[in-house]
């Protein structure tokens, strides 16, 4: 037995793992769902053993070129997933990020790092791809992965059509436990940077299309700034999100508008703190009406770099008063960070903690609220925060629509780790007084857009102020 630790689950038999995680029918279905090109080509996984994968790229209209032979690029695509599937077969009990339903804590991240494909002959029939991992490479992959170390391995993939060798490939893969990409104190990887930036662009893409109706007129929630921030990737991801989870799109649009309404409502507003700023373009959008406000943007250093890159593309962005503060909410005291960067707690302030609480445990959420209470010293200062319900977090809901929503969130790898129903008590424990609490359904009802979707009852917006303010 190969040496392993908590990152592999060899207490699961191969037969059980094959049945529930890597059998050809299941993997083919999952790949068709997450990689539409595979579905269009009817690419299939046909055989899986430990350390071995066999695939089929049919000769059909979608896969062929003008000569009626396979497109070279699609052979390369098939090589990528054939070799990747062989690696997946070795990581017994480990779900793959982006393919299986999983959380970051249990998943593996697998990416193609490099490839070299040599085409030997035209492919004039159905193409069979094969990858068999040598015993030495099997030992290396399993041992390093089990230790939480990065795996970098080059594997051979061959292709045969009509009994003839068509192509040979050398495929180099990167693989690592996904949780290792997030550990505090470690330099973040290219894969993690890609993940957080893609997520931010997706939310920007949703915001870019947002509008609300009031008194018979349509109003944009955000401006063209957000279209620039989203870019083509954000627009594509937002479109895919809308198809998979239309309720989540409604939630993002509602929270964007409600948060902006709070910002606009604070008399004499001087400061806005944007926790997990991502690609929220409201500082630029609101500059015309709030020119003197200072915006404090907190996020991971890599995300702030992307945010600043986008800002340079915007017209008149230098006029916006911004302070970028690198922060890791898992370990940094955000109140101390802000005070060191010129934040004045005695000035009217809006703190926006959006789309974050559900991804941090109760301890982190409590610590964040304690820090916010220190910063809200002006009687007009407010904290905006969103929560999912406890039943959503703990999976105890019996509502079919909510269960389906959560299943799709799992598909996205965005499982929740915290939920709250008693917002008043949650704030009171940190000396914060609840000013307002409403669900997304309440919000849309207020705007004259009633909904019967029970999912929208599971997501609430809260506004707090310091408890001793009158």
pLDDT tens digits, 289-348: 999 999 999 998 888 988 888 888 887 778 899 999 999 998 899 999 999 999 999 999
pLDDT-derived band at 74 (thresholds 50, 70, 90) equals very high
Kindly tell me if the per-residue pLDDT of 271 is higher than 90.
Answer: yes
225 sits in which H/E element = helix 224-244
Predicted confidence at residue 272, as pLDDT, reads 97
State the pLDDT at residue 70.
93
User: Per residue in 12-41, pLDDT tens?
Assistant: 899 999 999 999 999 999 999 889 999 999
Higher local confidence (pLDDT), 215 or 305: 305
Say if residues 39 and 81 touch (Cβ distance below 8 Å). no
Instruction: Determine what percent of the chain is predicted with pLDDT higher than 90.
Output: 53
Residue-level pLDDT at 288: 87
**Arithmetic mean of pLDDT, 93-111:** 84
Asked if 382 and 469 touch (Cβ cutoff 8 Å), the reply is no
State both tokens at 408.
């799709």
Higher-confidence residue of 180 and 271: namely 271
Of the candidates 201, 117, 113, the residue with the CA atom closest to the CA atom of residue 159: 117
User: Residue 183 pLDDT > 80, yes or no?
Assistant: no
Kindly report the average pLDDT of the chain as a whole number: 86
The CATH code of domain 191-466 reads 3.40.50.150
More confident residue, 99 or 230: 99
Q: What local confidence, expressed as pLDDT, does residue 453 receive?
A: 84
Whether the CB-CB separation of 105 and 177 falls below 8 Å is answered with no
Eight-class DSSP state of 107: -
pLDDT at 396 over 90: no
The band of 1, judged by pLDDT with boundaries at 50, 70 and 90, is very low
- Domains of the chain by residue range: 14-181, 191-466
Please state, in angstroms and rounded to a whole number, the distance separating the CA atoms of residues 27 and 85: 9
Comparison of pLDDT for 48 and 206, the residue scoring more: 48
Q: What is the pLDDT of residues 415-464, one digit of tens each?
A: 678 899 999 999 999 999 999 999 999 999 988 888 888 888 888 999 99
Q: Are 159 and 79 in contact (CB under 8 A)?
A: yes
* Residue 279 vs residue 344, higher pLDDT: 344
Q: Do domains 14-181 and 191-466 have the same CATH topology?
A: no
pLDDT band of 200, cuts 50, 70, 90: low
Share of the chain above pLDDT 70, in %: 82
Q: Which pLDDT tens digit goes with each residue over 117-173?
A: 999 999 989 999 999 999 999 999 999 998 888 899 999 999 999 889 999 999 999
Q: What is the pLDDT of residue 184?
A: 46
Predicted local distance difference test score (pLDDT) of residue 2: 40
Which of residues 179 and 453 earns the better pLDDT score? 453
User: Please, are residues 162 and 120 in contact by the beta-carbon 8 Å criterion?
Assistant: no
- Report the C-alpha gap between 216 and 222 in whole angstroms: 19
pLDDT band at 192 (very low <50, low <70, confident <90, very high): low
The mean pLDDT of 44-51, rounded to a whole number, is: 97
Environment class of 202 (CB within 10 Å of its CB; exposed 0-12, middle 13-18, buried 19+): buried
The second-level CATH assignment, the architecture, of 14-181 is Roll (3.10)
Helices (H) and strands (E) in the chain, counts: 16, 15
Residue spans of beta strands (DSSP E) within 319-431: 321-326, 349-353, 382-388
For 46-74, what is the mean pLDDT? 94
pLDDT at 3: 41
């Amino acid at each position: 037995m190969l040496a392993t630790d908590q990152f592999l689950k060899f207490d699961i038999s191969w037969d059980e793992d094959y049945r529930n995680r890597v059998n050809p029918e299941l993997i083919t279905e999952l790949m068709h769902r997450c990689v539409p090109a595979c579905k269009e080509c009817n690419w299939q996984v046909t055989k899986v053993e430990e350390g071995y994968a066999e695939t089929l790229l049919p000769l059909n209209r979608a896969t062929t070129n003008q000569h009626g032979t396979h497109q070279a690029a699609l052979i390369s695509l098939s090589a990528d997933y054939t070799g990747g599937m062989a690696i997946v077969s070795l990581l017994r009990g480990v779900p793959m990020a982006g393919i299986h339903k999983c959380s970051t804590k249990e998943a593996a991240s697998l990416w193609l790092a490099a490839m070299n494909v040599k085409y030997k002959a035209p492919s004039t029939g159905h193409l069979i791809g094969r990858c068999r991992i040598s015993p030495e490479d099997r030992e290396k992959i399993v041992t390093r992965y089990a230790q939480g170390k990065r795996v970098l391995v080059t594997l051979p993939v061959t292709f045969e059509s009509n009994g003839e060798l068509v192509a040979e490939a050398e495929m180099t893969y990167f693989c690592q436990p996904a949780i290792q990409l997030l550990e505090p104190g470690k330099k973040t990887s290219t894969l993690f940077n890609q993940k957080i930036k893609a997520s931010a662009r997706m939310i920007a893409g949703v915001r870019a299309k947002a509008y609300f109706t009031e008194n018979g007129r349509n109003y944009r929630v955000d401006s063209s700034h957000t279209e620039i921030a989203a870019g083509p990737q954000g627009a594509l991801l937002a479109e895919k999100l809308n198809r998979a989870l239309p309720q989540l799109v409604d939630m993002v649009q509602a929270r964007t508008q409600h948060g902006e309404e709070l910002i606009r409502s604070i008399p004499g507003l001087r400061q806005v703190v944007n926790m997990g700023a991502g690609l929220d373009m409201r500082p630029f959008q609101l500059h015309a009406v709030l020119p003197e406000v200072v915006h404090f943007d907190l996020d991971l250093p890599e995300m702030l770099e992307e945010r600043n890159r986008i800002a340079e593309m915007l017209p008149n962005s230098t006029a916006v008063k911004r302070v970028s503060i690198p922060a890791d909410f898992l370990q940094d005291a955000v109140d101390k960070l802000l005070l060191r960067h010129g934040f004045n707690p005695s000035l009217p302030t809006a703190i926006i903690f959006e789309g974050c609480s559900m991804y941090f445990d109760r301890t982190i959420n409590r610590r964040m609220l304690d820090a916010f209470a220190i910063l809200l010293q002006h009687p007009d200062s407010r904290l905006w925060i969103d929560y999912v319900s406890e039943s959503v977090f703990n999976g105890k809901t019996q509502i079919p629509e909510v269960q389906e929503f959560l299943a799709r969130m799992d598909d996205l790898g965005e499982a929740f780790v915290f939920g709250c129903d008693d917002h008043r008590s949650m704030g009171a424990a940190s000396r914060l007084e609840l000013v307002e609490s409403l669900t997304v359904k309440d919000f849309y009802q207020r705007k004259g857009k009633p909904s019967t979707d029970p999912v929208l009852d599971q997501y609430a917006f809260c506004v707090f102020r310091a408890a001793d303010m009158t």
